[in-house]
């Protein structure tokens, strides 16, 4: 295990940012700290980097106790959401910073900087100032700068949060590929579940200063530990007391036994997906299926159907009732089938 976080507490005044957090982060993997804003994930990352100090608990990096070590002694690379580019230094000098501070020979620095700038595709921008780069380029520069010192772990705090959607997606794919090429232990903070599911090998879900669940993207999606994780990762709907994914519900035209009957109130088709809202008692249940499946059922608005959870699909007991499902469905433009 590359990073061990043990029983870490952190408060800011009355606000509990981290409450007895224990996490092991595996070596050489890409781990996401995922959770809603203000949930404490950035604080945890900053504590690992030494930019904040835990009130209690211990941090170990590569087997060495780092609880009280200063940031410059930890040998971690840190990438900030807003790049933290050294504005008065050229791109090359930014990347060279960590090596210059370590008093490496000039020739070695030059070679290493050129290599890193190639890696992040900023070779021809070496002499520019950060202000002459776009946001995505600045963030790649910040990544090269962090990698220059060959850190034991690379920490990224919402690295794509300040970028627009298109660049965000590109950089996300690029980070995944970069990590496969340079397999340094990497931890990144995000509040975007899609980003975490797509990029990470392992996800730590953090909310209200507590770890809700740790696991691979598949584990989290298929075996959510609780109500919160179920809701936070992927779409959910509620059938009776159970939270379930809308694509894990079967619609049947005859009662197979053990199913609940309801009436179809709305059918919407979004591309390949058909969204069907079924009124079961006073509950509106969302069911999604493919166009082909929908066609085979031969149903329409007003039809009576039976709803059941697909056998073996994950369900979680709802702690708080789900907001009306129609509100969620209407967020996207619906095209009626």
Partner 1 sequence: MADIRTIADDTGGEEPRTLPVTLAGVEYTPGPRPPRRRPGKPGPGRWVLRLIVVAYLFFLVAWPVSLVVKNTFADGFSDLAAVFDDPDTMAALWLTVRIAVVSVVINTVFGVGMSILLVRYRFPGRRALSALIDLPLSVSPIVVGLALVLVYNSVDGWFGTALDDRGIDVIFAWPGILLATTFVALPLVIREVVPVLEEIGTEQEQAAHSLGAGAWATFRRITLPSIKWALVYGVVLSLARALGEFGAVKVVSGNVLGNTRTATLAVEEKYLNFDKPGAYAVSFLLVMVAVSAIVVVALIRPGKKDR
- Report the nearest approach of partner 1 to the CB of residue 255 (Å): 42
11 binds partner 1 (CB under 8 A): no
Please say which residue, 123 or 235, places its beta carbon nearer to partner 1. 123
Please say which residue, 34 or 154, places its beta carbon nearer to partner 1. 154
- Report the nearest approach of partner 1 to the CB of residue 78 (Å): 4
Contact stretch for partner 1 (CB under 8 A) within 59-67, 135-143, 271-279, 297-305: 135-143
Q: Which of residues 200-259 bind partner 1 (CB under 8 A)?
A: none
Spatial distance between the Cα atoms of 191 and 151, rounded to a whole number of angstroms: 25
Considering only 35, 39, 40, 136, the residue that binds partner 1 (CB under 8 A) is 136
Q: Which of residues 179-208 bind partner 1 (CB under 8 A)?
A: 181
- Tokens standing for residue 86: 């050294």
Using H for helix, E for strand and C for coil, what is the string for the chain? CCEEEEEEEEEECCEEEEEEEEEEECCCCEEEEECCCCCCHHHHHHHHHCCCCCCEEEEEECCEECCCCCHHHHCEEEECCCCCCCCCCCHHHHHHHHHHHCCCCHHHHHHHHHHHHHHCCCHHHCCCCHHHCCHHHHHHHHHHHHHHCCCCEEEEECCCCCCCHHHHHHHHHHHHHHHHHCCCEEEEEECCHHHHHHHCCEEEEEECCEEEEEECHHHHHHCCCCHHHHHHCCCCEEECCEEECHHHEEEECCCCCCCEEEEEEEEEEECCEEEEEEEECCEEEEEEEEHHHHHHHCCCCCCEEEEEECCCCCEEECCCCCCCHHHHHCCCCCECC
Contact stretch for partner 1 (CB under 8 A) within 56-64, 139-147, 266-274, 301-309: 139-147
Please say which residue, 62 or 222, places its beta carbon nearer to partner 1. 62
- Tokens standing for residue 92: 């090359």
159 binds partner 1 (CB under 8 A): no
Contact stretch for partner 1 (CB under 8 A) within 136-144, 225-233, 242-250, 273-281: 136-144
Considering only 135, 161, 215, 235, the residue that binds partner 1 (CB under 8 A) is 135
Considering only 167, 225, 334, 337, the residue that binds partner 1 (CB under 8 A) is 167
Q: Residues binding partner 1: what is the number (CB under 8 A)?
A: 45
Pairing of strands 76-79, 153-157: parallel
Please say which residue, 16 or 129, places its beta carbon nearer to partner 1. 129
Q: Which of residues 43-82 bind partner 1 (CB under 8 A)?
A: 49-51, 70-72, 74-78, 80, 82
Please say which residue, 73 or 263, places its beta carbon nearer to partner 1. 73
Contacting residues toward partner 1, per CB under 8 A? 49-51, 70-72, 74-78, 80, 82, 84-88, 97-98, 100-102, 121, 124, 134-137, 142, 145-146, 148-149, 163-164, 166-167, 170-171, 173-174, 177-178, 181
């Amino acid at each position: 295990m590359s990073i061990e976080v043990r029983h870490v507490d952190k408060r800011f005044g009355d606000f509990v940012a981290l409450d007895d957090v224990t996490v092991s982060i595996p070596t050489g993997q890409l781990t996401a700290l995922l959770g809603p804003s203000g949930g404490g994930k950035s604080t945890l990352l900053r504590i690992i980097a030494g930019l904040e100090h835990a009130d209690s608990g211990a941090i170990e990096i590569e087997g060495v106790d780092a609880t009280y070590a200063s940031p410059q002694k930890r040998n971690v690379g840190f990438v900030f959401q807003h790049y933290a580019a050294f504005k008065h230094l050229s791109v090359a000098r930014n990347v060279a910073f960590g090596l210059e501070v370590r008093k490496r020979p000039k020739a070695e620095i030059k070679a290493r900087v050129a290599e890193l700038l190639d890696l992040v595709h900023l070779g021809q921008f070496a002499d520019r100032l950060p202000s002459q780069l776009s946001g995505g380029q600045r963030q790649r520069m910040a990544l090269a700068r962090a990698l220059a010192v060959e850190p034991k772990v690379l920490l990224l705090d919402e690295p794509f949060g300040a970028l627009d959607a298109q660049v965000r997606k590109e950089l996300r794919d690029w980070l995944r590929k970069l990590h496969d090429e340079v397999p340094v232990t990497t931890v990144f903070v995000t509040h975007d579940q899609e980003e975490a599911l797509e990029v990470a090998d392992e996800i730590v879900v953090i909310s209200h200063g507590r770890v809700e669940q740790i696991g691979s993207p598949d584990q989290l999606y298929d075996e959510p530990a609780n109500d919160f994780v179920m809701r936070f990762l992927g779409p959910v709907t509620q059938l009776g007391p159970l939270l379930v994914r809308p694509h894990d519900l079967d619609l049947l035209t005859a009662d197979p036994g053990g199913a609940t009957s309801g009436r179809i109130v709305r059918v919407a088709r979004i591309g390949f997906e058909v969204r069907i809202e079924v009124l079961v008692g006073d509950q509106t249940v969302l069911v999604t299926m493919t166009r082909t499946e929908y066609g085979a059922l031969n149903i329409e608005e007003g039809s009576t159907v039976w709803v059941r959870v697909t056998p073996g699909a994950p369900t979680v007991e709802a702690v708080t009732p789900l907001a009306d499902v129609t509100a969620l469905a209407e967020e996207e433009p619906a095209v009626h089938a």
